[in-house]
Structure 1
Amino acid sequence: MAAAPPLVPQRSFYKRPLPPSCTAFASPEGKQLFAKALAAGTMESYFILAPQMVTQNEPAFCALGTLVQILNSLGVDPQRRWKSGWRWYDQDMLDCCRPLSDVAQVGLTLSEFACLSRCNSLDAVVHSPLLDAAGGAAEREAGLARFRDDLRETSRGKGVMALSYSRATLGQTGDGHFSPIGGYCEEDDMVLILDVARFKYPSYWVPTRLAYDSMLPLDKATGQPRGYVVLDVAGADSGSPGAPLSQTTVTLNKSTWASLNGSLSGLLLRSAKDSPTATDLVNTLLSHLALSLPTSPIAGRSTASASLPSLLDTLSTTRLAAATPFTSSSDPSAVLLNLTFLLALVSPRSPLAALVPPSAAADLAALAEDALERVPGLRDEVDGAARQLGALGECCRSEEDNGAACGCAGPGQGRGTEGGAAA
């Protein structure tokens, strides 16, 4: 009988000492910086972020940990249940733009982080210092000045800042990482980073110029720039606790949406030559969705209650649904879900709406508005799907502007991961 192979020793880590470039938040020096910033009024972001501090759930979930902390800090209602009857953001909810299984392997890029933010009702303004640095010393200094301006604004309570940076530049182990900015001591020109890898490093202050320089190395996984994102609640408010729960979610990621968007654009442009009726166009689009994708582009949330079947039942009684052969389908609910997705495709906020053939545009708009008015909750579902599609499209445009193909990047540590030998 062969002997069992020897067990391979596994390395284990519990925290790391901060390098000299970082000043621990809880140290005497860190407390002095806090006191100065507090007196200057530049610690406002700390007081909304600190009560929501989280530790990232996975070694590559630093972006998700950062975003969930910011969403809860800004009081955004997820319109979904976390557990039991409670509505609250958790890292496992942030699956728009990339599947969580992919994120767990390679993390997120800066543009994907912005995509997730927009999917969840935030305005996200992305800044890439690398583009400033590429222009020369003067542009780099101008970029640093803009970074300081944004630090002043957010630390005084106007939005929140998330930083995508290289740990190596700070003298830390590892590479790409995301964390929120908790404050700014202008007198000493120091930035407070609330590190979401709390198992590895505590929160710390770093010089502003060093924080800026830490965004300059390219993301090794994608070849794309790092940077920072200024985030705030989109629209007038962050949602109402009495609003209905969201029942559906788009199942596409940025690359599958880019492909589908292209094929739908071509289909709409070609169909204009035939002057289709609204009914013809609806059925052409539904057929295309069914044939071009392995699964529906929209699905009920795993936490959806009986409200989704009720919504689809009411949708089935509308004139829009009557224009489709959903009753003869082997899965009528799937057709009605695709019809909900189609409403998002032709909504006023969708670029595809401009490609609807003139022969069908007015009647299709009337059918859509009739359904939205008659079906309780449908408008919220359509608006949510349109918002997710817009975020996916913006992610692709951002990556293409930076010279990258719109697709899923390969494995690597550049995106933000605390695993591997360099932990």
Structure 2
Amino acid sequence: MQSPPPPPPTGRFAWASRNFRIQTAATVISGLGNAGAPIATAFAILDGGGSTADVGYVTAARLLPTILLLMIGGALADRLPRHHVMVAANLFSAVSQAALAAVVLAGEPSLWQLMLLSAGAGAGYAFFSPASGGMILESVTPEHAARAFSVYRMGLNGSQIGGAALGGALTAGLGPGWVLALDSVCFLAAAALRFLLEPQAPQPQDPTAPAAKGGGMLRDLREGWQEFASRRWLWVIVLQFSVLVACVSAVESVYGPAVAKERLGGARDWGLAMAAFGVGLVVTGLLMARWQPRRILLVGNWGVFLFGVPALALAVAAPLPVLASAMFLSGVGVTVFGVNWMIALQQEIPAEAFSRVAAYDELGSLSLAPLGTALAGPAADLLGLSGALWSCAVVSLLLSAAVLLEPQVRRLARRPADAPAPALPAPAATG
């Protein structure tokens, strides 16, 4: 005899399904570790006598497998139960971070060890991210999308505040290895929670069914590409972010820790600056839960103008309070863009192709990030640290202005909640 389904939630958060609550809680837990891990990795290299270029190489090693595997992750997330994909990815990341922690705690890790184990974390993320976005999409109804995405981001970003501050303090007090070990434990806890998730609807493809002629994963990827390439607003912004993310990654992963070590208080101060970034994310999440702008991409891109502000503060050797304020403004911009971007994807992309399109989105956005971080050290040697930071800031501002030349970006409007959901086109007949 089947047990009756649990009663629907009531009260202020009645719109939040069980899956949404579990996914948000798991994201908060994994976010606590993830926020501190980049700080710990950077200072494990710098404190061990490594150079700014070495930090860039390790960061690039983490990003490269993400780029190479994202499309496979997106296709699997649209074919298999998404929560199973997320659990497996979390467990893999837990193992890779535990190994990285062990190497750092053992003392004097070699550069190749740090690069190899960081690549494991990047591989786990490649399978996790497309499935996670699709799971959130399934968990809420369109009329509550803006509120749900804002609350989800507030949970993620709130964990970043605590995780960055805690990661910086633990790195300075106990050493980076313990922060990486904490990240592994957080991944394990998140996997345990996500194991409780349930698919809300059958997946559109049955992986046990025979594939159609020319079908299978390649067909899935072609369909995802058609959905992606047919929307000019989508690929124009992804093209913008391919360069923008390379600049931001260089600033946050390479230049920021280097400036903090040279001019500020090291890991502790950089952790506080990253926590200020998280405060900006959370405060703006409260606003975005209520604010529903009509021109979603136009408003979102105004937030992108703030992405380059931390590079400006670092370039002029601003004191910690000014740097923290710049990081706060950057966090504001990330949430303004991120919530509006998720709303645009939800209303314009068919649910059955969402993970594949999200994978193409992330693939394009991250495509130049390994190159940007790998070249960050040589660029600082050539231009000086301040010159490299000024270059990142100027490029970020120019890209934010250039994307507004695309009419679809300026005009894409929020649809009514009762508007019909987009669907995949019927497959073409074959002879």
Normalised TM-score (structure 2): 0.25
> Relative contact order: is structure 1 or structure 2 higher (C-alpha 8 Å, sep ≥ 6)?
2
Structure number having the greater helix percentage: 2
Structure number having the greater strand percentage: 1
Normalised TM-score (structure 1): 0.26
